[in-house]
Every structure is written in C-alpha cells, then in structure tokens.
Amino acid sequence: MAKKILVLNGPNLNLLGKREPEVYGRQTLADIEAMIAARGAENGLSCDFFQSNGEGALIDKIHTCLTDYDGCIFNAGAYTHYSYAIRDAIASVEKPFIEVHMSNVHKREEFRHHSVISPVCAGVIAGFGADSYLLALEALAGILERGEKA
C-alpha cells in the first residue's frame, strides 16, 4: 500500500505566481502541486494537498495526520515564526514533518531567521524555490522507507 503524504501550505501561498515573483517564482501553487503529485507517484507516495490562510484550519488539518497520513510536508508561511499553536499541533501527531520554504529565509528579514516549528520537524529545506518541495518529498520518502519516527 502506498504511503500517504499531506502537503500543507499556509498563508499567502495561494498567491504563488503573483506574489513577489522575484522571491517565489512564477509557478502557481497548482503547478507545484502537480509537480509534487507526479514525483510522489514515481516514489510510491500518494499526495493530498491543502492550503489555508487561517491558523485554525491548518491546525485542524495537521490533526488529520494522526489517522490519515504517514507524514507531512509543510510550508507554514509566516506562521513558521510565531505560531506556538501550530508547533504544538505538529508535536501532538507524532508523524514526520518536513518544514519547507521556497526562499532562503536566512538571506531575508531578521524576523524570518527563527522558526518555532523546526524543533518538532524531522528537517528543514529552504532556498530552492519550488524544488524545495521535491527535496522535502525525497527526504520524507527516505524517512518513511527507513521507518523512522517523528
């Protein structure tokens, strides 16, 4: 049976392709999701996608990882830097999460340099544009193949 992965995107990522293309590129979220789904299928992974601008909706979706998913790729957007509620939700499901950022957050504004969710994620990938998601998919596939815990 294929492992099931959730690809979760937070605030403003619905605007990819339009929002600051010099930072995030011109690919839309739908383009990136299609790319992830194709690569996931090549690796025997079934991928579901969810995006919300709301913290509560993201937390509710994280909770579904308890029963519905084997792991998660998560670009929490600005919530990365201050949402302890999202951090606690990730910790509570005890599944591997890979934190993703399209831009190199360490080359940007100071407030982006700290993540409150990193300590409860299996790893962090940043700075490779849309390819950050593909790198996260490869990493998560390896974690699941090895049977590693969160």
85-125 confidence digits (pLDDT tens): 999 999 999 999 999 998 877 766 676 667 999 999 999 99
**AA identity, residue 91:** A
Q: What is the pLDDT of residues 58-89, one digit of tens each?
A: 999 999 999 999 999 999 999 999 999 999 99
Of the residues 69, 79, 101, 133, which is catalytic? 101
Q: What is the 3-state secondary structure (H, E, C) of 75-117?
A: ECHHHHHCCHHHHHHHHHHCCCEEEEECCCHHHCCHHHHCCCC
DSSP annotation of 54? -
Q: How confident is the model at residue 19 (pLDDT cuts 50, 70, 90)?
A: confident
Q: Is 101 a catalytic residue?
A: yes
Of the residues 24, 69, 79, 133, which is catalytic? 24
Q: Is 24 a catalytic residue?
A: yes
Rounded to whole angstroms, the Cα distance separating 9 from 25 reads 16
**AA identity, residue 39:** R
